[in-house]
A and B are shown apart, each in its own frame.
Chain A
Amino acid sequence: MILLATTIFALETSCDDTAAAVVEEGYIVRSSVISSQVEDHQKFGGVVPEIASRKHLENLIPVVQRALEEAGTVYTDLDAVAVTYGPGLAGALLVGVSAAKAMCYALNIPLIGVNHLEAHVYANFLERGSLDLPAVGLIVSGGHTSIVYVSRDKEITLLGATRDDAAGEAFDKIARAMGLGYPGGPEIEKLSRGGDPQAVLLPRAWLGQGSLEFSFSGLKTAVVNYLKKAEEEGREVNRSDLAASFQQAVVEVLVEKTVAAARNLKVSHIITAGGVAANASLRSQLKRRAEENNIHVSFPRVEYCTDNAAMVASAGYEKFIKKDFASLELGVAPALCLKTNGVIL
């Protein structure tokens, strides 16, 4: 028995995945179980919350048990339970938060409330145990597109976010407009291969010099208009070219703004997070542009990019050592944000 290892159990139910994990010392992943509901959602072309909430209830106990089994731990080995309490769907968050409270009450161990967005950043610490800080982080998923600053003591501050649609949402909506499946990111990426990313001229929203905000709504409209016009003219659309051009328009803005933020803040590290950070085109272009500027980029392993509980455990560990515990009155916070102050640009 290792006496000193701190073992955190974590739950994540903020959107479409029920996830549980056991993580030691904030980075040694003993288990990370995700009951992906992608198959259920595929026929609807989007995350369906009623199904999500009901599935969370059905999945929760088996997922918790499997996480403990895979880790080779029992309930009494746990030092604390960390849970995502926002942002996300209220009904879905409630399932995880209620279960976490019940576990903490029964085991008499501390409860830790974790911000889902901060947890995404912590995915970068998993299996590494350390990270070069300070860094600029790009969090990019179906619900979020944000650039953050991660200080030396792991404080996370928001530098800029989307003004309208999240990047992943744009991928999903364009995929649906093109008759592709869900989730849209991997489908667009697949279709893009062999396509010419310069074939269709699409707008990039820079939003003024130095802006770290994003806007993908105009790009979405431009693609919809392009499809509509082609249909009216009876013109065949080269779907690979369109997918590649759309993807390029999203990736280019994400890459340039993230690199610009790192340069302006004079940090030499970029970390990435969120489901869209699994996109191969984003990874290669961000790496290339960063290296040109002597900036190192870190990507979490693909399974830690999408929603998972290991990242929640890692964020929870940080709060555990600071004794930043939640009471059993912890409520869900569907609109939880990141701090915006404290960074001198």
Chain B
Amino acid sequence: MFEVFTYSSEDTRRWGTITGNVLRRADVVCLFGSLGAGKTTFAQGIARGLGVTANVTSPTFNLVSEYEGRVPFFHIDAYRLHNIEEAYSIGLEEYFYSGGVTVVEWPENIVSILPPVYLRVEILPQNGSARRLVYEPLGKRYEDVLEELKSIAHPGS
């Protein structure tokens, strides 16, 4: 586990960028958090960390947006999905295995097609625009990701 407090949406986006910096091909990040918590803001930061220069907008309408960075970036939003057949029918699970970095918003709607290992990040609104980011690694790869993030957050410790 690893926690970060952010104090503005720009700060949340900055932590997304720091996270994106240490991600590589085939990594999957699932973003949990209520409506307006800042999932898209954090995902915009990850995109920046992956070298995506295009404007990253909410994928709610299209379900999946694809971007080019130093690796491909797939931005999935399962907000409008309500059963797993819907996710299967549009081939959502294929994105996890397509050699890019995938970020999923509203992953709770597609739990059974999520890969067995991924980085779980929960965004918990605090007072005003402050947020608590709770990172939880599922699998060895993401424990390594957290170690890197910890060394950035607490250099020298």
User: A4 near B: Cβ within 8 Å?
Assistant: no
Q: Which residue of A lies closest to B61 (CB)?
A: A143
Contact mask A298-342 → B, CB, 8 Å, 1/0? 000000000000000000000000000000000000110000000
Segment of A63-71, A88-96, A147-155, A187-195 engaged in the interface with chain B: A88-96
Q: Report yes or no: A334 in contact with B62, Cβ–Cβ below 8 A.
A: yes
Q: Report yes or no: A220 in contact with B80, Cβ–Cβ below 8 A.
A: no
Q: Which residue of A lies closest to B66 (CB)?
A: A335
Majority-rule SS of B interface residues = loop
A50-B85, A53-B90, A91-B90 given; A166·B36 CB < 8 A: no
Q: Give the residue among B9, B38, B57 with the most A Cβ atoms within 10 A.
A: B57
In the complex, which of the residues B62, B82, B129 contacts A335, with contact meaning CB atoms closer than 8 Å?
B62
User: B102 near A: Cβ within 8 Å?
Assistant: no
CB distance from B16 to the nearest CB of A (A): 13
Q: Report yes or no: A225 in contact with B60, Cβ–Cβ below 8 A.
A: no
Q: Report yes or no: B36 in contact with A217, Cβ–Cβ below 8 A.
A: yes
Contacts of A222 in B (CB 8 A): 36
Contact mask A195-226 → B, CB, 8 Å, 1/0? 00000000000000000000001101111110
Contact mask B74-105 → A, CB, 8 Å, 1/0? 00000111100110011000000000000000
In the complex, which of the residues B35, B62, B64, B66 contacts A220, with contact meaning CB atoms closer than 8 Å?
B35
User: A87 near B: Cβ within 8 Å?
Assistant: yes
Contacts of B55 in A (CB 8 A): 161, 163
User: B41 near A: Cβ within 8 Å?
Assistant: yes
In the complex, which of the residues B66, B79, B129 contacts A46, with contact meaning CB atoms closer than 8 Å?
B79
Q: Report yes or no: A48 in contact with B80, Cβ–Cβ below 8 A.
A: yes
In the complex, which of the residues A53, A166, A224, A335 contacts B35, with contact meaning CB atoms closer than 8 Å?
A224
Q: Report yes or no: B36 in contact with A224, Cβ–Cβ below 8 A.
A: yes
In angstroms, Cα B44 to Cα A163, docked, is: 10
Beyond A164-B44, A165-B57, A173-B60, 16 additional pairs, beta carbon < 8 A? A15-B61, A44-B80, A46-B79, A48-B80, A48-B82, A48-B86, A49-B80, A49-B86, A87-B62, A91-B90, A144-B61, A164-B40, A176-B35, A223-B36, A224-B34, A335-B65
Query: What are 18 pairs between A and B in contact, CB < 8 Å?
Result: A48-B81, A50-B85, A54-B89, A89-B63, A163-B55, A164-B44, A165-B40, A165-B60, A166-B61, A173-B60, A218-B9, A221-B129, A222-B36, A224-B34, A225-B125, A334-B62, A335-B65, A335-B66
